[in-house]
Structure 1
């Protein structure tokens, strides 16, 4: 943010209040991307429109992802507080409309509105930390935010299933109203002390339009991969091609814009560029494995969905623990470089162990490997955030952090589509294994052959994941460490 005055100092009590509010905002935005997954059958049964049900998830994903960098830049221009409060208001309005939805079309439109607010909650919540704390003190608080993001990814499907079964699917949206109101009120007063930009903001409307025009087709193309299982389907190729054309146009325009919405100078900063690459590659593997590992447990070990979900808890706890511990160590030592390097290296080792050992054997082995993966992912989230904050000028803090979140979301989308497509491609004729009824009717010899095919297919996915994490390790080694400012 641009201000000629000395930034205000906040007491520990004020920081706790602000952090609780922005953590709640980030949790709401991240939770609503996953909470509807287990409620989709109940929603389709009530509203109809089975052929449109995927758009309940896709509409939110696209809207919240494509607006993330735009909100970050707007918060640099107008201040964090007004942009965050507007985002909360839009998000809660979308949740209210979704809870009242009488038709599938209405619900999809409401989820689009929710996503428009969710993009601001994600990007601005992280940027607020850079306004209230010096870099040396940000590690432990960014650890809390990274933990929140990781937890919401795993808790969402469980909470959605519980609410839709015990109450109704409407409640997965109703709960956002009191929580959103609480986040609004908790940040309303304290954030008034943040300095506002003193110069008149100039908005790059064409840049914002090109961001939307580039990222929306890309995400639609990725969604087509998940639906068709093919990277060569007409929907996929069209989306990726259109997105690539507008991406080139975006770069060319932002290089000449007077006040670019997405400043290209960010990518001239080697620290920001390498940290973004690490974020993208790590997210590709992390989000995909959250879906693939439970599938592995169910198809090869024969575990029920609930039991498979329980075994994933180790990975969740590892992510939370790794993020928290890394954040605390950053504050104590003032060092950030070593954590992404160790995290990516451990992630590579974890994927190699999965490829060699598989899952579904001794519980101690399963929990140990998934715990290692969780620690590796969590141990680099907050360090990368602090690294980017410390490397950028204050005027670019909001847009820089929102770009990091954008790469994290895009990585998750590409990873989910890409690695599941790899799995499906490796299975080939073994797709019947996804249908329990057909598996039960197979002869024993055929089931054993299919089991061998499954083992090979999952191992191939884990080897690909290990390769991606190895590239992330090399990128992490290239990040130059800057001393963290203490004031």
Structure 2
């Protein structure tokens, strides 16, 4: 059995230099793309497929995450981590060359396959070299990359969109990715090899992909492409249930399951996983939709919409750093997920109250509230999940927790974007008739095109966007409110260090009793 790797402080910091670059690569992508989305969707005439630009990426990442986690346990972190970076870079290059929405969505999926390995790889390597009791202070160092990604990403994406071409929002990943490959090749050399020859549960992986994809299609197409009671949606629902049931059966019988269901027997792990799903739902949904309001309603440029996201990003960063230090000093964490879910619910509910007269300052305050909730939850949920798992299955447990967060993101983006689009189009049809489409259809509307239209049309389009945003965030707030109830049931379990890490056989038994 692979035992925890004991690194000196200096070795940990050197290793983390590679992890920081890889995390920056993964975090920058969505931050850079978000301000460019209104222009990308308008340029490629794909308003009805807005969700899939993000969902294709997040869905692929979701499906790939537990596979990468398992591969890391079996083959070793180094080879899987480097492979994930390479796939991510190939996907980035292909996205920049896309000529239509179909190609862009497909290539975003390739990019997502690599991204799934980046995030789970960072978390798994950190879990290998730092015990949970000490991880807070090192995660604080790791989270220092957030200002660059969360503030610099939207600014870079906005600048690229306004001054170059949205395609460079993807090409910009390439030079940073090459650096990440080179650094990680050397700094991860000391990590141990995997447990042995990989036996990947491909049947389980296939079933996982099937039921997740069917579920996301339901939330994307339901009430939009097809009526909720249509044969297509009912068929997808039946497929989701059947594939999920088969997945559970296969995972219970598999010698090397792609997602060990035993980790869910631990109460805290299951609750932390549920919170991870809710965090993903709110985080990806918010980042995807807020630039729509900022650019179409508040008249911000793509660059300025990146700047206007700063209150949320800075708030999340500061609270996350403070939370990590608090956990390291006190060893206690239960209050953070409770406070985080309350703040997240409040932030989403506040966004649902916005109208065409809402100022940028007011929107910034709402963002700060939502960001504080995200900061309380982002690293805390992962820490709880890892502390609830045996050290020999850290990769699989991290993969499962990350999978749930990404699944929440997939569902959040698809469902909230569908609600937004439906309300926008319904509002346009009810107030302007064909006025907005006389100069350009809603599906092909870019912020630049909207600014050239007559004032009555601009006002009608802004009102339609606001209607869609309000409905989407109200449903997001309802989902987040369920997280408050989940957080209340989390129990405090002392964070372990290497000295008191359980032996593999003891840890496995503890999963059933904790």
CA contact (8 A) 2:158 2:305 kept: no
Q: 1:364 to 1:41 in 2, by over 3 A?
A: closer
Q: Scaled by the length of structure 2, what TM-score is found? A: 0.79
TM-score (norm 1): 0.83
Would the alpha carbon gap of residues 161 and 241 (structure 1) be closer, same or farther in structure 2, given more than 3 Å must change? farther
Q: Which residue of 1 aligns with 2:69?
A: 72
* Counterpart secondary structure, 1:483: coil
2:485 pairs with 1:440: no
Q: 1:34·1:153 contact (CA, 8 Å) conserved in 2?
A: yes
Unaligned 5+ runs, structure 1:
none
Task: Kindly indicate whether the alpha-carbon contact (under 8 Å) linking 2:78 and 2:189 is maintained by their aligned counterparts in 1.
Answer: yes
Superposition map of 1:7-406 within 5 A: 7-33=4-30, 35-36=32-33, 59-97=56-94, 110-143=107-140, 152=149, 156=153, 158-163=155-160, 166-169=163-166, 171-224=168-221, 228=225, 238-297=235-294, 307-355=304-352, 360-361=357-358, 364-406=361-403
More divergent stretch after superposition (388-397 vs 281-290): 281-290
Give 1:429 shift. Answer: 4.0
Q: 1:79 to 1:305 in 2, by over 3 A?
A: closer
Residues 251, 319 of structure 1: alpha-carbon distance in 2 compared, 3 angstrom cutoff: same
Please identify, of 127-136 and 274-283, the stretch whose mean Cα deviation from structure 2 is larger. 274-283
What is the CA-CA distance between 1:195 and the residue it aligns to?
2.7
CA distance in 2, matches of 1:472, 1:59: 25
* Counterpart-to-counterpart distance in 1, 2:199 and 2:335: 39
User: Cα distance 1:212–1:352, how it changes in 2: closer, same or farther (>3 A)?
Assistant: closer
Q: Distance in 1 between matches of 2:240 and 2:146?
A: 27
Q: In the comparison of the two structures, how many residue pairs are matched? A: 479
Corresponding residue of 2:483: 472
Deviation per CA, 1:205-249, whole angstroms, max 9, x where unpaired?
Answer: 222222222223333444446974975676655545433321221
Residues 165 and 468 (structure 1), Cα distance of their counterparts in 2 relative to 1, 3 Å cut:
closer
State how far apart, in whole Å, the 2-side matches of 1:234 and 1:158 are: 44
How far off is 1:125 after superposition? 1.5
> What is the RMSD computed on CA atoms of the aligned residues?
4.0
**Shift of the alpha carbon at 1:343?**
1.1
The verdict on how the C-alpha distance between 1:147 and 1:353 changes in structure 2, with shifts beyond 3 A counting, is: farther
Distance 1:339 1:52 in 2: 38
- Cα distance between partner residues in 1 of 2:496 and 2:257: 27
Q: 2:493 aligns with which of 475, 479, 482?
A: 482
How far apart are residue 271 of structure 1 and its match? 0.7
**Is this contact kept in 1: 2:72–2:194, CA < 8 A?**
no
Distance 2:36 2:355 in 1: 30
Instruction: Find the residue that maps to 1:193 and give its secondary structure.
Output: coil
After superposition, the Cα gap between the structure-2 partners of 1:146 and 1:477, relative to the gap in structure 1 and judged at 3 Å, is: farther
Can you give the 5+ residue segments of structure 2 that lack an aligned partner in the other structure?
432-441, 499-514
Shift of 1:318: 0.9
